[in-house]
Amino acid sequence: MALKENPQFPENKNFQAKLKEQTAQLGIELSDLQLQQFDRFYQMMVETNKHMNLTAITEEDEVISKHLVDSLSCCKVMDMSKVGSIIDMGTGAGFPGIPLKIAYPDIEFVLMDSLQKRIRFLDGVIEELGLEKIEAVHGRAEDLARRKEYRANFDLCVSRAVANLSTLSEYCIPFVKVNGYFVSYKAQKGMEELEQAANCLKVLGCKVEDSHKFTLEGDDSERLLLKIKKCKGTPKVYPRKAGVPSKNPL
């Protein structure tokens, strides 16, 4: 299958070559179609960003490292061949969900965000790239986690959302199956947040199984992936009502 030509988004072979080189360092080999999909996604994001605030990062090299490769770094702590379903909580412009979906097309995905206009953008990306077994859902974690089609229904929850780990865990863990995982993408203060979240993870029935520190090309700031395993069912009271997890973390 080839990506349909679109004069609005001409192929950028230089972009594709740089992306292919960096993803190969993660052990990910992208096909020509996948490279074209990443290329098209980047161009759609930049074009949409002219009239809608999706991201502050738009320069080609920075997008490749800080958005695309960073999103795919999940493979450093997860065996993606054993993951059948993923929910991306607070996906924003589609990170890490869209890059992971392109790289692992057989996995079923749900992209969740509370802003309708971002969901419309993601719907356009999904259609333009010809992605299958993926949906973008408008809603808040506090509400969607109560619905049986989402609660405890995913092998993996991922999130690059900006919130402390205690708050984020309360929003994300209810979506994960028992013995499934939550991978939180964090910056330098991630280990500090992990210490503060010890009680939260205990209450939610989780334990940290792995962590991975790394830096991105052209960026010396430290990144951290936290792999959290859900060991038992989440008490029904969680997540609490909107605003409570951030104002009064577990």
Query: Given this model, what pLDDT does residue 247 score?
Result: 87
List the structure tokens of 190: 């991630």
The predicted pLDDT at position 191 comes to: 86
Q: Which of the two residues, 7 and 96, has the higher pLDDT score?
A: 96
| pLDDT (tens digit per residue) in 179-189 | 999 999 998 78
pLDDT reading at 102 higher than 90: yes
Measured over the CA atoms of residue 151, residue 88, residue 103 and residue 46, the dihedral's sign is: positive
pLDDT in tens, 223-233: 999 999 999 99
- Of 137, 58, 50, the residue nearest 90 (C-alpha): 137
Contact 71, 94 (CB under 8 A): no
pLDDT at 1 over 80: no
Mean pLDDT within 39-66: 96
Instruction: Work out the angle at residue 95's Cα, subtended by the Cα atoms of residues 166 and 3, and round it to the nearest 5 degrees.
Output: 160
Contacts of 156 (CB under 8 A, 6+ apart): 78, 83, 85, 86, 87, 176, 180, 181, 182, 183
At 220 the pLDDT is 79
- What is the Cα Rg of the chain in Å? 17
pLDDT at 2 over 80: no
CB–CB of 138/119 below 8 Å?
Answer: yes
The answer for residues whose C-beta is within 8 angstroms of residue 91's C-beta and 6 or more apart is: 97, 98, 111, 112, 113, 118, 122, 136
pLDDT tens string 157-209: 999 987 899 999 999 999 999 999 999 999 878 888 999 999 999 999 999 99
The pLDDT value recorded for residue 189 is 81
